[in-house]
Amino acid sequence: MNVGFAGVLPVVPTPFTRDLAVDHASLHALVDYAVRCGAGAIVYPGVASEDVQLNDVERCASMRTVVEAAAGRIAVVGGVNAAEFGDMVANAKWMAKTGVAGIMAMAVPTMAAKGYASCYQELAAATGGLPIILQNLVKPRGADLLVEEMLDIAGAVDAVRYVKEEAVPPGPKVGALVASGADALDGVIGGGGARFLFEELERGVIATMPAMELLELHVAMLRDYGEGRRDAAFELYQASLPLLLLQASYRMRLTKLVLKHRGIIATDEVREPLPQLDEVTRRLVLEYFMRLPVNGVKSDG
């Protein structure tokens, strides 16, 4: 099995200024941070980037910043997601010209009428055959494809090399994809914010695609697991769960609070309509973070 995108592939958030403009200096700093941490690649924009909150001009400008900041030091996967398939093709065409190493394209319900394999073939043609990560998200935003449907797509479209599975719970689908997809796929990638990461590793994922607030921990966890230190990886996973439990509700607010606390981004502003973090929860988030047993994380606070 040829493994290209492997390890921790964080989705880079979109930082905003106090007036909710895109903060390109902080975006550049996030790419530098991913390089320092040893991420396998970075993904932008994705759901955790508040992609649906970016207009076309902002998306293009932010993507240029990410690729320029990466500067060949780390591979960039371009997220082409949109509600309408035609917009995804348009995104794929211009994104391929930026120098991305691959694209991530969510299977969305509007693809059904045309046929999913036909849609992914069109996306492959739009990029000149760059590797595609098929993102399988639950409804209503995603199509929530069956394992057999995803394998059929990968078998029909050479460029579809990976699946990022985001079922809840993910275990059965991940296991079935790994067991049956060796000929059609280069690998299966875990999603769900890494909340199910240990089980996904046990079932054979080659990568995880979380948000960025626990990047050092996730890199250390995958390194430990890959080098046979299963108990050490398990301890890191257990340590991550209090923070990831809160992250499931507060999403980008929590991610940005931690990144701001560390001085990596300037503000924790979000555009996504999310629950507010009150002072009790903010204090707990930072306490959970400070207690993490990874020196690279703990020493920054």
Percent helix, percent strand, percent coil in the chain, to nearest 5? 50, 10, 40
CA 116 – CA 57 distance, rounded (Å): 28
Consult the annotation and say whether 209 binds a ligand: yes
Number of Cβ within 10 Å of residue 294's Cβ equals 18
Give, in degrees to the nearest 5, the angle at Cα 11 between 135 and 258.
Answer: 140
> How many CA atoms are closer than 13 Å to the CA of 132, on its beta-carbon side?
33
Peptide bond into 45 cis (omega under 30): yes
Are the CB atoms for 212 and 11 separated by under 8 Å? yes
The structure tokens 């530098």 sit at: 32
DSSP alpha helices (H): ranges in 38-55?
Answer: none
Binding residue numbers: 209
Binding residue numbers for pyruvate: 209
